[in-house]
């Protein structure tokens, strides 16, 4: 699965409304793919985290070699929105799954000019089955705002517990996070609790993973 770099939710300007419309359009397109192609869909990932200073949401839907992503983050100093579509490259999959494609991003900064940009999104990920469950490794780079994100996640299948360490940066945002997630019974829903090192704050969230 692909976990795309995440990005807002405030509506303090016209560009904020444009960002919300961009995100809404992305969510609508992704939902149409998910609902209309359920029988052939590989899976979907949705996540929302909330803390005192930052909230973020992300969605990723895969169907065959295509992955559609949309996300938002509201942080101290601004808000950012992004939608992307990537295609799985047909080589190197014994080492990692590599995806590449276009992205559209909107950044609404509190102390700088708002920007809308087209970019290129490059994702590399690897899922490794283990005796205890699995390991998942992800690296995501986007030319929009020079954003990059890396994640390592270990899952214990018996207890439905996952531990993850992640770090993300862009021209306007940087954070390192540690999180623990507990899957609810045999459902795709997990509850999350974590800590953001730079912001020095606890966050809570929920995720849905059908991969």
pLDDT per position as a tens digit, 138-197: 999 999 889 999 999 999 999 999 999 999 998 877 899 999 999 999 899 999 999 999
The domain containing residue 176 runs over which residues?
14-209
pLDDT for 34-85, tens place per residue?
444 443 448 999 999 999 988 999 999 999 999 999 999 887 778 889 999 9
Q: What is the pLDDT of residue 115?
A: 84
Classify residue 189: in a domain, yes or no.
yes
Distance CA 142, CA 153 (A): 21
Q: Does 31 have pLDDT greater than 90?
A: no
CA atoms in the 13 A half-sphere facing the CB of 2: 32
**SS3 assignment, position 34:** helix
Q: Does 24 have pLDDT greater than 80?
A: no
Classify residue 154: in a domain, yes or no.
yes
Classify residue 184: in a domain, yes or no.
yes
Classify residue 6: in a domain, yes or no.
no
Classify residue 9: in a domain, yes or no.
no
Classify residue 3: in a domain, yes or no.
no
The total number of structural domains in the chain stands at: 1
Classify residue 85: in a domain, yes or no.
yes
Q: Are 145 and 107 in contact (CB under 8 A)?
A: yes
CA 27 to chain centre: 13
* CATH value at residue 182: 2.40.160
Classify residue 134: in a domain, yes or no.
yes
């Amino acid at each position: 699965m692909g976990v795309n770099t995440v990005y807002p939710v405030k509506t303090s300007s016209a560009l904020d409304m444009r960002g919300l419309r961009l995100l809404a359009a992305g969510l609508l397109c992704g939902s149409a793919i998910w609902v209309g192609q359920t029988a052939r869909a590989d899976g979907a990932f949705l996540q929302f985290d909330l803390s005192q200073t930052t909230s973020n949401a992300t969605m990723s839907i895969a169907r065959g070699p295509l992955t559609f992503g949309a996300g938002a983050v509201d942080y101290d100093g601004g808000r950012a929105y992004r939608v992307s579509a990537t295609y799985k490259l047909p080589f190197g999959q014994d080492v990692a799954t590599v995806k590449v494609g276009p992205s559209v991003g909107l950044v609404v900064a509190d102390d700088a000019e708002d920007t809308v940009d087209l970019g290129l999104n490059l994702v590399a990920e690897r899922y490794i089955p283990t005796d205890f469950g699995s390991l998942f490794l992800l690296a995501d780079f986007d030319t929009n705002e020079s954003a990059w994100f890396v994640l390592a996640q270990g899952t214990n299948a018996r207890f439905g517990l996952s531990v993850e360490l992640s770090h993300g940066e862009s021209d306007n945002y940087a954070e390192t996070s540690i999180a623990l997630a507990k899957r609810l019974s045999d459902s795709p829903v997990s509850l999350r609790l974590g800590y953001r090192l730079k912001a020095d704050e606890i966050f809570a969230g929920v995720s849905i993973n059908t991969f």
